[in-house]
Amino acid sequence: MIEISNLSFRYREGEDLALRNVSLTIPSGQFVGVTGAAGSGKSTLTYAINGIVPHCYPGDFYGAVRIDGHDTAETSLTDLSRLVGSVCQDIDSQMVSSVVEDEMLFGLENFGFPKDEIEGRVTRALADMGISDLRDRAISSLSGGQKQKVAVAAILAMEPAVLVLDEPTAELDPASSKGVFDLLARYARIHGTTVVVVEQKIALLSAYADRILIVKDGGVYLDGAPADVLAHADELRESGINCPRATSLANRLRARGLYAGPVCRNVDDAVAAVEEVIA
Ligand code: ADP
Ligand code: MG
Protein backbone atom coordinates (compact mmCIF):
# COMPACT_ATOMS: atom_id res chain seq x y z
CA MET A 1 0.00 0.00 0.00
CA ILE A 2 2.93 2.31 0.81
CA GLU A 3 6.12 1.92 -1.20
CA ILE A 4 9.02 4.24 -0.40
CA SER A 5 12.14 3.82 -2.49
CA ASN A 6 15.45 5.51 -1.80
CA LEU A 7 13.76 8.60 -0.47
CA SER A 8 15.89 11.52 0.63
CA PHE A 9 14.58 14.98 1.36
CA ARG A 10 16.10 18.31 2.33
CA TYR A 11 13.84 21.25 3.27
CA ARG A 12 14.67 24.36 1.30
CA GLU A 13 15.70 26.09 4.54
CA GLY A 14 17.36 22.97 5.92
CA GLU A 15 21.08 22.35 5.91
CA ASP A 16 21.01 18.60 6.42
CA LEU A 17 18.82 15.98 4.87
CA ALA A 18 15.66 15.52 6.97
CA LEU A 19 15.21 12.05 5.43
CA ARG A 20 18.10 10.04 4.11
CA ASN A 21 17.75 7.11 1.78
CA VAL A 22 14.59 5.64 3.27
CA SER A 23 13.24 2.49 1.62
CA LEU A 24 10.15 0.95 3.10
CA THR A 25 7.28 -1.25 2.01
CA ILE A 26 4.12 -1.25 4.08
CA PRO A 27 1.51 -3.81 3.04
CA SER A 28 -2.20 -3.12 3.11
CA GLY A 29 -3.75 -3.41 6.57
CA GLN A 30 -0.50 -3.19 8.53
CA PHE A 31 -0.48 -1.13 11.74
CA VAL A 32 2.93 0.56 11.87
CA GLY A 33 4.25 2.55 14.82
CA VAL A 34 7.02 5.12 14.32
CA THR A 35 9.14 6.51 17.10
CA GLY A 36 12.48 8.24 17.58
CA ALA A 37 14.08 11.27 19.20
CA ALA A 38 12.87 14.84 18.58
CA GLY A 39 14.10 16.10 15.21
CA SER A 40 14.89 12.62 13.90
CA GLY A 41 12.52 13.00 10.92
CA LYS A 42 9.28 11.33 12.05
CA SER A 43 6.98 14.16 10.99
CA THR A 44 8.82 14.56 7.69
CA LEU A 45 8.27 10.85 7.04
CA THR A 46 4.51 11.33 7.58
CA TYR A 47 4.63 14.32 5.16
CA ALA A 48 6.28 12.12 2.57
CA ILE A 49 3.42 9.63 2.88
CA ASN A 50 0.56 12.15 2.73
CA GLY A 51 2.23 14.22 0.00
CA ILE A 52 2.77 17.42 2.02
CA VAL A 53 6.38 16.70 1.03
CA PRO A 54 7.03 17.63 -1.77
CA HIS A 55 3.74 19.43 -2.55
CA CYS A 56 3.71 21.98 0.29
CA TYR A 57 7.35 22.03 1.37
CA PRO A 58 9.69 22.66 -1.50
CA GLY A 59 13.19 21.25 -1.25
CA ASP A 60 15.43 18.58 -2.69
CA PHE A 61 13.43 15.41 -3.16
CA TYR A 62 15.15 12.22 -4.30
CA GLY A 63 13.62 8.80 -4.78
CA ALA A 64 9.92 7.98 -4.94
CA VAL A 65 6.87 7.37 -2.78
CA ARG A 66 3.93 5.39 -4.10
CA ILE A 67 0.60 5.06 -2.35
CA ASP A 68 -1.51 2.26 -3.77
CA GLY A 69 0.57 2.62 -6.93
CA HIS A 70 0.22 6.41 -7.22
CA ASP A 71 3.49 8.35 -7.29
CA THR A 72 2.98 11.14 -4.73
CA ALA A 73 5.07 13.64 -6.69
CA GLU A 74 2.84 13.17 -9.74
CA THR A 75 -0.51 12.99 -7.94
CA SER A 76 -2.34 16.09 -6.75
CA LEU A 77 -2.67 16.69 -3.02
CA THR A 78 -6.46 16.54 -3.40
CA ASP A 79 -6.31 13.08 -4.98
CA LEU A 80 -3.78 11.93 -2.39
CA SER A 81 -5.92 13.09 0.51
CA ARG A 82 -8.71 10.79 -0.68
CA LEU A 83 -6.30 7.90 -0.20
CA VAL A 84 -4.41 9.09 2.85
CA GLY A 85 -6.17 10.64 5.83
CA SER A 86 -3.83 12.58 8.11
CA VAL A 87 -3.91 13.94 11.59
CA CYS A 88 -0.97 16.29 11.97
CA GLN A 89 1.09 17.09 15.03
CA ASP A 90 -0.16 20.67 15.30
CA ILE A 91 -3.84 19.96 15.82
CA ASP A 92 -4.96 23.62 15.95
CA SER A 93 -3.58 24.30 12.48
CA GLN A 94 -5.60 21.38 11.15
CA MET A 95 -9.01 22.52 12.43
CA VAL A 96 -10.93 24.61 9.91
CA SER A 97 -14.34 25.01 11.56
CA SER A 98 -15.64 26.48 14.79
CA VAL A 99 -18.09 23.70 15.69
CA VAL A 100 -17.35 19.97 15.88
CA GLU A 101 -20.16 18.92 13.52
CA ASP A 102 -18.98 21.39 10.85
CA GLU A 103 -15.43 20.08 11.19
CA MET A 104 -16.80 16.58 10.54
CA LEU A 105 -18.84 17.76 7.53
CA PHE A 106 -16.04 19.81 5.96
CA GLY A 107 -14.04 16.94 4.50
CA LEU A 108 -17.08 14.85 3.61
CA GLU A 109 -18.72 17.70 1.67
CA ASN A 110 -15.49 18.81 0.03
CA PHE A 111 -14.78 15.33 -1.22
CA GLY A 112 -18.30 15.06 -2.56
CA PHE A 113 -19.53 12.09 -0.53
CA PRO A 114 -23.18 11.30 -1.38
CA LYS A 115 -25.51 13.44 0.76
CA ASP A 116 -27.49 10.46 2.05
CA GLU A 117 -24.29 8.86 3.40
CA ILE A 118 -22.94 11.88 5.23
CA GLU A 119 -25.14 11.83 8.32
CA GLY A 120 -24.40 8.14 8.94
CA ARG A 121 -20.68 8.66 8.54
CA VAL A 122 -20.61 11.58 10.98
CA THR A 123 -22.64 9.73 13.60
CA ARG A 124 -20.57 6.56 13.25
CA ALA A 125 -17.17 8.26 13.39
CA LEU A 126 -18.11 10.31 16.47
CA ALA A 127 -19.39 7.15 18.16
CA ASP A 128 -16.24 5.23 17.13
CA MET A 129 -14.13 7.85 18.94
CA GLY A 130 -16.49 7.92 21.92
CA ILE A 131 -17.29 11.62 21.48
CA SER A 132 -20.92 11.64 20.27
CA ASP A 133 -21.67 14.14 23.05
CA LEU A 134 -19.24 16.71 21.59
CA ARG A 135 -21.10 17.06 18.28
CA ASP A 136 -22.53 20.53 18.92
CA ARG A 137 -19.64 21.91 20.93
CA ALA A 138 -17.53 24.89 19.90
CA ILE A 139 -14.04 23.64 19.06
CA SER A 140 -12.54 26.53 21.05
CA SER A 141 -14.19 25.11 24.20
CA LEU A 142 -12.57 21.67 23.85
CA SER A 143 -9.50 20.38 25.68
CA GLY A 144 -6.42 19.41 23.67
CA GLY A 145 -7.30 15.75 24.05
CA GLN A 146 -10.88 16.29 22.87
CA LYS A 147 -9.59 18.19 19.82
CA GLN A 148 -7.31 15.28 18.99
CA LYS A 149 -10.26 12.92 19.09
CA VAL A 150 -12.32 15.24 16.86
CA ALA A 151 -9.47 15.42 14.35
CA VAL A 152 -9.23 11.62 14.25
CA ALA A 153 -13.02 11.25 13.94
CA ALA A 154 -13.14 13.76 11.05
CA ILE A 155 -10.60 11.63 9.17
CA LEU A 156 -12.22 8.28 10.04
CA ALA A 157 -15.52 9.57 8.64
CA MET A 158 -13.94 9.52 5.18
CA GLU A 159 -12.68 5.94 5.57
CA PRO A 160 -9.33 6.49 3.85
CA ALA A 161 -7.30 3.43 2.84
CA VAL A 162 -4.28 4.82 4.69
CA LEU A 163 -4.34 6.66 7.98
CA VAL A 164 -1.32 8.72 9.06
CA LEU A 165 -1.30 10.14 12.57
CA ASP A 166 1.49 12.27 14.01
CA GLU A 167 1.55 11.98 17.82
CA PRO A 168 -2.25 11.77 18.19
CA THR A 169 -2.04 11.15 21.94
CA ALA A 170 0.39 13.94 22.83
CA GLU A 171 -2.32 15.81 24.76
CA LEU A 172 -3.87 12.74 26.37
CA ASP A 173 -3.32 11.07 29.73
CA PRO A 174 -2.20 7.40 29.71
CA ALA A 175 -5.72 5.98 30.02
CA SER A 176 -7.12 8.10 27.16
CA SER A 177 -4.03 7.39 25.05
CA LYS A 178 -4.69 3.69 25.41
CA GLY A 179 -8.34 4.37 24.58
CA VAL A 180 -7.38 6.06 21.30
CA PHE A 181 -5.08 3.17 20.34
CA ASP A 182 -7.83 0.66 21.21
CA LEU A 183 -10.21 2.51 18.90
CA LEU A 184 -7.65 2.92 16.11
CA ALA A 185 -6.62 -0.73 16.19
CA ARG A 186 -10.21 -1.95 16.23
CA TYR A 187 -11.20 0.45 13.46
CA ALA A 188 -8.22 -0.54 11.30
CA ARG A 189 -8.94 -4.25 11.74
CA ILE A 190 -12.59 -3.86 10.74
CA HIS A 191 -11.88 -1.64 7.71
CA GLY A 192 -8.56 -3.14 6.63
CA THR A 193 -6.98 0.31 6.99
CA THR A 194 -3.21 0.73 6.75
CA VAL A 195 -2.08 2.81 9.73
CA VAL A 196 1.14 4.73 10.28
CA VAL A 197 1.22 6.36 13.70
CA VAL A 198 4.01 8.42 15.23
CA GLU A 199 4.04 7.98 18.98
CA GLN A 200 6.61 8.74 21.67
CA LYS A 201 5.36 6.09 24.08
CA ILE A 202 6.99 2.94 22.76
CA ALA A 203 5.16 0.79 25.33
CA LEU A 204 1.89 1.85 23.71
CA LEU A 205 3.21 1.05 20.23
CA SER A 206 4.47 -2.34 21.30
CA ALA A 207 1.02 -3.24 22.59
CA TYR A 208 -0.82 -2.29 19.37
CA ALA A 209 1.50 -2.11 16.37
CA ASP A 210 2.30 -5.02 14.03
CA ARG A 211 5.60 -3.35 13.30
CA ILE A 212 7.75 -0.62 14.84
CA LEU A 213 10.12 1.71 13.01
CA ILE A 214 12.79 3.59 14.93
CA VAL A 215 13.81 6.73 13.07
CA LYS A 216 17.24 8.18 13.71
CA ASP A 217 18.99 11.00 11.84
CA GLY A 218 16.47 10.84 9.02
CA GLY A 219 16.85 7.12 8.42
CA VAL A 220 15.04 3.97 9.50
CA TYR A 221 17.37 2.61 12.17
CA LEU A 222 15.38 -0.37 13.42
CA ASP A 223 12.40 -2.02 11.73
CA GLY A 224 10.63 -5.10 12.99
CA ALA A 225 7.97 -6.70 15.13
CA PRO A 226 7.67 -4.98 18.54
CA ALA A 227 9.42 -7.79 20.45
CA ASP A 228 12.33 -7.79 17.96
CA VAL A 229 12.77 -4.03 18.16
CA LEU A 230 12.54 -3.97 21.98
CA ALA A 231 15.26 -6.62 22.13
CA HIS A 232 17.73 -3.97 20.86
CA ALA A 233 18.00 -2.23 24.23
CA ASP A 234 21.37 -0.56 23.54
CA GLU A 235 20.38 0.76 20.12
CA LEU A 236 17.13 2.13 21.55
CA ARG A 237 18.96 3.97 24.30
CA GLU A 238 21.39 5.31 21.69
CA SER A 239 18.41 6.59 19.65
CA GLY A 240 17.10 8.47 22.67
CA ILE A 241 14.23 6.09 23.35
CA ASN A 242 13.29 4.81 26.77
CA CYS A 243 12.36 1.14 26.82
CA PRO A 244 9.21 0.22 28.72
CA ARG A 245 10.24 -0.43 32.33
CA ALA A 246 9.12 -4.06 32.03
CA THR A 247 11.52 -4.49 29.11
CA SER A 248 14.44 -2.85 30.95
CA LEU A 249 13.85 -5.07 33.98
CA ALA A 250 13.92 -8.26 31.92
CA ASN A 251 16.93 -7.06 29.91
CA ARG A 252 18.83 -6.45 33.16
CA LEU A 253 17.93 -9.90 34.44
CA ARG A 254 19.11 -11.30 31.13
CA ALA A 255 22.40 -9.35 31.29
CA ARG A 256 23.06 -10.96 34.69
CA GLY A 257 22.36 -14.39 33.27
CA LEU A 258 19.23 -14.83 35.39
CA TYR A 259 16.66 -14.85 32.61
CA ALA A 260 16.74 -16.37 29.15
CA GLY A 261 13.09 -16.14 28.06
CA PRO A 262 11.41 -13.92 25.46
CA VAL A 263 11.56 -10.10 25.42
CA CYS A 264 9.13 -8.53 27.90
CA ARG A 265 6.75 -6.00 26.42
CA ASN A 266 4.50 -5.29 29.38
CA VAL A 267 3.90 -5.94 33.06
CA ASP A 268 2.31 -9.36 32.44
CA ASP A 269 5.41 -10.50 30.53
CA ALA A 270 7.64 -9.14 33.31
CA VAL A 271 5.65 -10.99 35.98
CA ALA A 272 6.16 -14.22 34.02
CA ALA A 273 9.90 -13.45 33.71
CA VAL A 274 10.28 -12.78 37.44
CA GLU A 275 8.34 -15.94 38.25
CA GLU A 276 10.75 -17.87 36.05
CA VAL A 277 13.73 -16.30 37.86
CA ILE A 278 12.44 -17.10 41.37
CA ALA A 279 11.10 -20.55 40.49
P1 ADP B 1 10.49 14.87 14.33
O2 ADP B 1 9.06 14.84 13.91
O3 ADP B 1 11.09 13.51 14.49
O4 ADP B 1 10.69 15.70 15.57
P5 ADP B 1 10.92 16.47 11.94
O6 ADP B 1 10.53 15.61 10.80
O7 ADP B 1 9.93 17.51 12.38
O8 ADP B 1 11.36 15.56 13.19
O9 ADP B 1 12.26 17.22 11.59
C10 ADP B 1 13.37 16.56 10.99
C11 ADP B 1 14.45 17.59 10.67
O12 ADP B 1 13.99 18.48 9.67
C13 ADP B 1 14.85 18.44 11.87
O14 ADP B 1 16.22 18.67 11.79
C15 ADP B 1 14.09 19.72 11.65
O16 ADP B 1 14.78 20.82 12.20
C17 ADP B 1 14.04 19.83 10.13
N18 ADP B 1 12.82 20.52 9.68
C19 ADP B 1 11.55 20.19 10.00
N20 ADP B 1 10.67 21.02 9.39
C21 ADP B 1 11.42 21.90 8.68
C22 ADP B 1 11.10 23.01 7.82
N23 ADP B 1 9.85 23.37 7.57
N24 ADP B 1 12.15 23.68 7.27
C25 ADP B 1 13.43 23.32 7.50
N26 ADP B 1 13.79 22.28 8.29
C27 ADP B 1 12.81 21.58 8.87
MG1 MG C 1 7.33 15.56 14.80
Residue 98 lies in a domain: yes
Strand partners, 31: 195
227 CA from centroid of ligand 1 (Å): 29
Closest-lying ligand to the alpha carbon of 22? 1
38 CA from centroid of ligand 2 (Å): 7
Q: Which of ligand 1's atoms lies nearest the C-alpha of 37?
A: 3
**Quick check: 61 pLDDT over 90?**
yes
Over residues 37-54, the mean pLDDT reads 96
**Quick check: 246 pLDDT over 90?**
no
Ligand 1 pocket at CB < 6 A? 11, 13-14, 18, 36, 38-44, 57
Cα–Cα distances in Å, from 98 out to 94, 95, 172, 251? 12, 8, 21, 49
Count structural domains, the chain. 1
Residue type, 63: G
Domain coverage including residue 195: 2-243
Quick one: residue 223, left, alpha or beta (phi over 0 = left, psi -120 to 50 = alpha)? beta
Largest CA distance in the chain: 64
Neighbours of ion ligand 2 (CB under 5 A): 42-43, 89
Residue 270 lies in a domain: no
Of 37-41, 161-165, 177-181, 249-253, minimum mean pLDDT range: 249-253
Q: Is this model's pTM higher than 0.85 or not?
A: yes
What pLDDT sits at residue 170? Answer: 86
CATH number, domain of 67, equals: 3.40.50.300
Residue 265 lies in a domain: no
